[in-house]
Amino acid sequence: MTTTLELHPDRLFPIDKDCREITRRLYDAVKTLPIISPHGHTDPSWFANNELFANPHALFIAPDHYLVRMLYSQGLTMAELGISSKNGDVVADVRSAWRTFARHYYLFSATPTGFWLNHIFSELFNLSSQLDESTADHYFDTISEALLQESFRPRALFEKFNIELIATTDSPIDNLEHHKALANDNWQGKVIPTYRPDSVIDPEHHAFYQSLAKFGQITGEDVQSWDGYLNAHRKRRAEFIALGATATDHGHPTANTANLSKEESALLFERVINRQFTKEDAELFRAQMLTEMAGMSIDDGLVMQLHPGSFRNHNEQLLVQYGADKGADIPVKIEYTQALKPLLNRFGNNKDLSLILFTMDESTYARELAPLAGHYPCLKLGPAWWFHDSAHGMMRFREQTTETAGFYNTVGFNDDTRALLSIPARHDMARRVDCSYLARLVAEHRLTESQARKIAIDLAYHLPKQAYRIDKTS
């Protein structure tokens, strides 16, 4: 017997009846606001080419590391999930893989992935029964049929979701052809790049030297010299800005920064270029480059984002066989107060710098991040990130940061997703959680309802636009 799929209108709202009523009213004020998606990983080619998506497997299973990691943790193989190895081994066909997914869908009960997927299945595909083994083919056929319709092309979905802006994440050696095509298109949707220079900043990156060579070719700079290397970054940043970019993004292992002299930096760079660096040198180089990037941001206005603390591709066997981004990234402990001090000593009081901090180490919320953002003019707190991009994670973030940093030293919500269809579901979750938190403050007479309503609107719409300087792209 199949179970009905029904999205309760009060999902994620407080149990207390008075709080729930307040939450409903606050949510009514934000639920239809346009979506600002200033940090994410959607593919710009989707919007440039506007082609139909291939099938449910390609849309839901293959690219989703949240989904893959859960199924893999229960002993399912990549082959069973229809994901091929680098050697091109035989894998399950897409329908068989979908049936496997459906048979194990119960694993996502009470997870944010389950919440997002149920939202998508119900709201976008009008499916009314839960996904399980008995409904697998019905789901596959219904979604496949929908994906053939013009209304499911990427641009149509962008408009249907009421997205005002999406920022993609792009390598400094990307030719940006899709963003260039969009810039010359008469479509009104706004899709902008974000400068993510990790591959030419991290000497321990697997493709650092190949990327650096291409970096020099693209920019026409001598990237074997310190000055030429920095000029290459300035040139590429300017090209990104010309295509609408408002931000950079840095996925470093730690939050360490440094403030070396030009001479010290040049000598360090020489060791890196000559492949004579130690692990300590690699960390110092990444640390110095964050400070260099901050200086460039003061000059060109790009907002900095720092996403530290992920042990990437922890499962070495999986990395070798299947490549990166297969759900094996694990959070590690991170320190911010001492780590950021060199950068803050140099630029922390400069209002022209905007540095947004993220963490997967929740122990830092109240101890370090909220006090730092509650003092330095250049710092803002990004939303609950990755493993904490969940109802409870978002609530913990508000509870641990608000009393020290307030709401206005945060940047609202960004979805940080590769999955286009999940964007409205993720933003809806964030709006529901924020309204629930605000309703509690109203019920405790710490805010008036009118104050809470304004804050809810700001968190959902105005703060991300301000923090990422979105209005400057208009």
Give residue-wise pLDDT tens across range 122-178: 999 999 999 999 999 999 999 999 999 999 999 999 999 999 999 999 999 999 999
User: What would the mean pLDDT of 391-419 be, rounded to a whole number?
Assistant: 97
Residue 5 has pLDDT above 70, yes or no: yes
DSSP helix/strand/coil, 310 = strand
User: What would the mean pLDDT of 310-334 be, rounded to a whole number?
Assistant: 89
Counting residues of the chain whose pLDDT is more than 70, the rounded percentage is: 99
Residue 59 has pLDDT above 70, yes or no: yes
Using DSSP bridges, classify how beta strands 163-167 and 304-306 pair: parallel, antiparallel or unpaired: unpaired
Output the DSSP codes for 198-256.
HHHH-TTSTTHHHHHHHHHHHHTS-TTSHHHHHHHHHHHHHHHHHTT--BB-B--SS--
The backbone torsions φ and ψ at residue 140, rounded to the nearest 5 degrees and listed phi first, read: -60, -45
Helix (H) or strand (E) holding 401: helix 391-405
Residue 62 has pLDDT above 90, yes or no: no
Q: Is the Cβ–Cβ distance between 3 and 129 less than 8 Å? A: yes
pLDDT band at 6 (very low <50, low <70, confident <90, very high): very high
Burial of 65 (0-12, 13-18, 19+ CB in 10 A): middle
pTM (two decimals): 0.96
Q: Is the Cβ–Cβ distance between 151 and 160 less than 8 Å? A: yes
User: What would the mean pLDDT of 38-50 be, rounded to a whole number?
Assistant: 97
Q: Is the Cβ–Cβ distance between 24 and 12 less than 8 Å? A: no
Whole-number Å distance between alpha carbons of 415 and 423: 6
Helix (H) or strand (E) holding 306: strand 304-306
pLDDT band at 472 (very low <50, low <70, confident <90, very high): low
Task: Give per-residue pLDDT as tens, 211-253.
Answer: 999 999 999 999 999 999 999 999 999 999 999 999 999 999 9
Whole-number Å distance between alpha carbons of 40 and 442: 32
Residue 185 has pLDDT above 90, yes or no: yes
Closest among 464, 461, 424 to 30, alpha carbons compared: 461
Whole-number Å distance between alpha carbons of 158 and 153: 9
DSSP helix/strand/coil, 22 = helix
Q: Whose structure tokens read 């107060």?
A: 337
Lowest mean pLDDT among 1-5, 59-63, 277-281: 1-5
Q: Is the Cβ–Cβ distance between 193 and 176 less than 8 Å? A: yes
User: Domain-by-domain residue ranges, the chain?
Assistant: 52-151, 154-473
Whole-number Å distance between alpha carbons of 119 and 135: 17
> Tell me: domain 52-151, CATH 3.40.50.10190, correct?
no
User: What would the mean pLDDT of 282-296 be, rounded to a whole number?
Assistant: 98
Q: Which residues contact 11 (CB under 8 A, 6 or more apart)?
A: 115, 432
Residue 473 has pLDDT above 80, yes or no: no
Closest among 466, 399, 474 to 190, alpha carbons compared: 474
Whole-number Å distance between alpha carbons of 472 and 8: 38
Q: Is the Cβ–Cβ distance between 315 and 366 less than 8 Å? A: no
Closest among 470, 397, 468, 408 to 430, alpha carbons compared: 397
Q: Is the Cβ–Cβ distance between 38 and 383 less than 8 Å? A: no
Q: Is the Cβ–Cβ distance between 456 and 30 less than 8 Å? A: yes
DSSP helix/strand/coil, 77 = coil
Q: Tell me how far CA of residue 378 lies from CA of 349, 350, 357, 457, in angstroms.
A: 7, 6, 10, 23
Burial letters 259-292, b for 16+ CB under 10 A, else e: bbeeeebeebbebbbeeebeeeebbbbbbbbbbb
Same fold across 52-151 and 154-473: no
Residue 298 has pLDDT above 50, yes or no: yes
Q: Average per-residue pLDDT in the chain?
A: 96
Check residue 474 and give its pLDDT: 44
Tell me the fold of 154-473. Answer: TIM Barrel (3.20.20)
Counting residues of the chain whose pLDDT is more than 90, the rounded percentage is: 92
Task: Give per-residue pLDDT as tens, 67-92.
Answer: 999 999 999 999 999 999 888 887 99
What is the end-to-end Cα distance of the chain in Å, rounded? Answer: 52
